[in-house]
Structure 1
């Protein structure tokens, strides 16, 4: 190997060719550990194997599982406050913190309309309410790859004033190492990864967010 590297660096090797066995798409889809029914599930169009769409195909191997949890496997996020499961999101401020306030900056009309419609929907569902909090965080929009808008709250000051949690989170390398030797994988794609946990009552004013139209809202759920 050392001789090969030396010749390569010296330019004595002018060309390298990589030889590999010819493999067909059928071979790539084959597996000695899968029966035909399972393999068919992998070759179906992806859209027919995701979440709520599975309920259209009773022959799907995971149909009974999705059917049993059809109340949580939905295309639409919940339109009401989540139930109190005994766990509340808490925000512990660094001692000496007074107010976390940042002035709202102007946005284009399209973004303002998106923000107003968003909060009108969340207010109807009970997830936000009008606020008189001394704290205030601006709201803006970021364009998503699909062309839609994603709402963002600039909680920079609040984050800087919050005591960070030291809960250990598995690293990507650890997760990949634990998957070694597995042949079947499952994944859950959340319709909405936010607004799932109620806020601790005393921390609700800390979540106050402003809008370009002059409203101040506060979250009853973790934003």
Structure 2
């Protein structure tokens, strides 16, 4: 199940713990294990000591390790794609959309389980107004009927500015839900078999060897994907690719980093 919270650029280990308590513990209790990357907030003495006392095991992932960070990588990619498309015209509004994106992610059927996270955690589906549904033919038809009824109710509201606000509220949220669904479908499609094929590698945060500071600055302007590279092996949702020795990095990457 996904929980999202907006944070500033700089967050201390203590602040990260408070976010965890407010966003996760508050709903699910204390987990037996927490898997995270090696961010200093999660490797610092405060975070480590606090969870040792609470009896929670901390597991740190290695760069692009398929067994530990695959799920997080996919959620991050879906979140990034959704916010990029939805907030293109108003980038600073991304934090206003997090609650709805979180709901859409948790109410979407996952290919690996056949269920939504809401159902797997609570054995029930949340109540969703028909006006916010979409995607399948049945939902589109029933949603269309509900939309007509909603429009009829809105038409009785005064003034007209409030009518427009209410209609915009519904339209924006339906659009966001559909975009999350589309982004998830795209992420699932990327988990296809790349065996015996050549693929491209996403250069984001890739620890390439840099000759000089000048070359380092040039990297910012390079294409997002490099390659193609041959696939050597598949490990679930990750692939080992044939990288040149000049690249100082692991050869195994989550499918979300490949194209």
- Please give the TM-score of this superposition, normalised by the length of structure 2: 0.19
Structure exhibiting the larger radius of gyration computed from Cα positions: 1
**With CA pairs under 8 Å and 6+ residues apart, which has the higher RCO, 1 or 2?**
1
- Please give the TM-score of this superposition, normalised by the length of structure 1: 0.21
